[in-house]
Amino acid sequence: MAALAGTTLIWPGTALDKLWALNQPAYKQLSLVGGSIGALFLLLSATLVTAAVGWFKRRLWGWVLAVVIISTQIGGDVVNLLRGDFLRGGTGLTIAGALLFYLLRHKVRATFH
């Protein structure tokens, strides 16, 4: 999804733009900065693919990258809570917190080398 968002923000006017109908308010906000935010979405996409490769190969760097990504998500969820968006922030914090708890378990960490 990050790659799709980045692609449509950098190269608007394609058939892919119809997918923004699912979240028109986000498109209105993101399209104002277009290419620069689109490049960041593509970078995020590459980071997520890299983490997935490391994760499935059971590499320590894949585990570390996954922990960093989920921790960053928790930070964003806390910001949402502080801004008063309790449903989105609370839900995200619950899910990301559970994922981070799972990742930090010794049994999970021990499978990576």
Alpha carbon of 104 to those of 49, 59, 68, 80, 108: distances in Å? 21, 15, 11, 24, 7
- Residue 18's pLDDT band (cuts 50, 70, 90): very high
Question: With contact defined as beta carbons under 8 Å apart, do 6 and 42 qualify?
Answer: yes
Query: What does the pLDDT look like over 61-85, one tens digit per residue?
Result: 999 999 999 999 999 999 999 999 9
Question: What is the predicted pLDDT for the residue at 98?
Answer: 98
